[in-house]
Chain A
């Protein structure tokens, strides 16, 4: 009898703790915050941009490797695009950011659970919605990142409608160092399953174009806005960081989820002009963690363990990228 009472007490304690954790998980951040100094990487970018601007002819905008005594800066590689009846517009190709010259630090991450509120996103036949999966994974990821040496902010931590522009503003105004947007795919044929990760850039893949139009549906950008933003991408060194981040996360995600799920396909790292990736000013990726169009994936997604696995994979991806960045910074200091 005493043993039953003891067990009851133990499970009760667990139930209270579980509820307490959920309560804490939904705590909103205080409205006032201690202002943070500008991110190191942003300073780095500004410095590079400034130096490149001064070192090149007026018609060439270039962001290249900054010069250092041991590594002389290569001449900017330029491409010329001419529209009928217009003068040459010379745009430099992006050059990789030399992290050893401009040590970056990763301190604040914005996680963006896709969709929300009236914007359900993709809906599985069972009724499972993209918005609930993305939020659940994001909340798990935030919990897992609690012990990490960086701050984690969510664009939304409840089921609310949030415009794409607001998500971008949130990341920019909070001076985030990384932006990770979580989504769940819907693809035909429905046999397709497997994660894919995007960083900003153009695409001519029809499947990706379809996906982009679905995910950008709530954007208020005009076509001209998108075009301009895309042009800017090429003079933005953050793109290289975004590519590195995308590769790291995709690798971890596929590696984690493939265990016990042999049918999973590695859909790889791709470029696409998602609205949230174009407006953000920091390395940013959009990760499609699974496919709601595939019934086997839906079955897995309804299992909390699987969603935890996704969050863990994202955690490892972020951690691995951060270790690389922060490690290099330590080495340099």
Chain B
């Protein structure tokens, strides 16, 4: 609503695996949600920084105390270090869109941050606390709601935002979604990684790999249904680089999220007024990094067929759909709204 140089509106999708920011000055960035602190003086000398964020942290991980501070889409419990790590991610994102921390003439930052649909109030309070000093006013919204708002899919739509930590569901019925309209599942990208890691280890007990390698394989070759080709990866076996076929393991791991996903979808659909259930079935929107699994919309659509037919589509830009939606909300909120949500 209000655009001036005195204010900078940002939408932030704070993800377990990746975090993105979209700003009203046109800047958009996505980073890996990792933070690392040099483990000792030698490491500090080598990396030449007090703290590393994103890909840089991941690439230098042997020299760092590495943190992935978000779990199930919220700050991990009970650790001050993880709160600091989230602050570093947020500061980094804000700096990327051109704002220096504590700089003079810094515009007021109005931030909309996406959180899991069923985030506890206490988690929201903690996140709000962490945002102090980084943004001037903060609005926390559910991630699928941010996606829906950005796409103007506010009526008769079901948004499923599948990230790394959680899969978030939100039925839009022309009003701000209540708890009844939303669900959060822990079955998302990370659970696929765990499953894949287990399956590969079972089939190739001598293969050596890390969770980071598993994630990279999944991002490149994940699929459900029929494979496009064999999934061949190269990894050390007793120290020797070896090519392994993980086609079946990849399918089983990726398809492991389908039963809870479809069950939750049915649960939410059944709560929609019968007159509009068909409309909602025909407007199922998939977002989030994990929605990029090949064949996922078809699999969801196939299930919708069993319910009487429907249509599932993946948003054009799954990585930025949440932060773009957040930015749209931030822009549309009035100055008086922001005043109410001030952190200062």
Contacts and interface: CB of A to CB of B under 8 A. Distances in A.
Interface of A: 4, 7-20, 22-23, 25-26, 117-118, 120, 126-127, 129, 131-132, 135-136, 139-140, 158-159, 302-305, 308
Contacts of B140: 19, 22
Given A14-B175, A139-B121, A4 B154 contact: yes
Contacts of A129: 77
Nearest to A1: B152
Interface residues of B, number: 38
Given A126-B186, A132-B120, A302-B184, A7 B174 contact: yes
Given A14-B176, A117-B78, A120-B77, A132 B122 contact: yes
Given A25-B121, A118-B78, A15 B152 contact: no
Interface in B330-344: 332-333, 337, 340-341
A303 B138 CA distance: 25
A148 to B, nearest CB: 20
Nearest to B75: A159
Contacts of A117: 78
Given A10-B175, A305-B180, A15 B329 contact: yes
Contacts of A308: 179
A127 B165 CA distance: 12
B333 A20 contact: no
The main secondary structure of chain A at its interface with chain B is helix
27 contacts: A8-B154, A11-B154, A11-B174, A12-B149, A12-B332, A15-B141, A15-B176, A16-B340, A18-B176, A19-B140, A20-B341, A22-B128, A26-B125, A117-B78, A127-B72, A131-B77, A132-B120, A132-B122, A136-B122, A158-B125, A159-B77, A302-B118, A302-B186, A303-B118, A303-B179, A303-B183, A304-B179
Nearest to A140: B121
Interface string B132-167: 000000111100010001001011000000000000
B123 interface: yes
Contacts of B28: none
Given A22-B121, A132-B122, A139-B121, A16 B78 contact: no
A305 B77 CA distance: 22
Contacts of A302: 118, 184, 186
Q: Is the interface of B mostly helix, strand, loop or mixed?
A: mixed
A16 B155 contact: no
A128 to B, nearest CB: 9
Contacts of B333: 12, 15-16
Interface in B148-205: 149, 152, 154-155, 172, 174-176, 179-180, 182-184, 186
A241 B286 CA distance: 54
Contact of B77 (A17, A18, A132): A132
Contacts of A303: 118, 179, 183
Nearest to B72: A127
Contacts of B174: 7, 10-11
B175 A158 contact: no
A11 B175 contact: yes
B108 interface: no
B205 to A, nearest CB: 25
Contacts of B121: 22, 25, 135-136, 139-140
Nearest to A119: B78
A20 B152 CA distance: 23
A276 B71 CA distance: 32
A139 B77 CA distance: 18
A304 B139 contact: no
A313 B268 CA distance: 24
A7 B118 CA distance: 23
Nearest to B341: A19
A4 B77 contact: no
A117 B340 CA distance: 28
Nearest to A23: B341
B197 to A, nearest CB: 17
Given A11-B149, A120-B77, A302-B184, A16 B126 contact: no
Nearest to B185: A302
Contacts of B215: none
B91 interface: no
Contacts of B179: 303-305, 308
B124 interface: yes
Contacts of A120: 77-78
Contacts of B128: 22-23, 26
A306 to B, nearest CB: 9
Interface in B264-305: none
B122 A139 contact: yes
Contacts of A158: 122, 125-126
A25 B122 CA distance: 10
Contacts of B141: 15
Given A8-B152, A9-B332, 7 more contacts: A16-B337, A16-B341, A25-B121, A118-B78, A127-B72, A139-B121, A159-B78
Question: 5 closest A-B pairs (Cβ-Cβ)?
Answer: A14-B176, A304-B179, A16-B337, A11-B176, A136-B120
Nearest to A118: B78
A138 to B, nearest CB: 10
A304 B169 CA distance: 13
A38 to B, nearest CB: 34
A10 B72 CA distance: 29
Contact of B123 (A10, A132, A305): A132
Contacts of B71: 127
Nearest to A16: B337
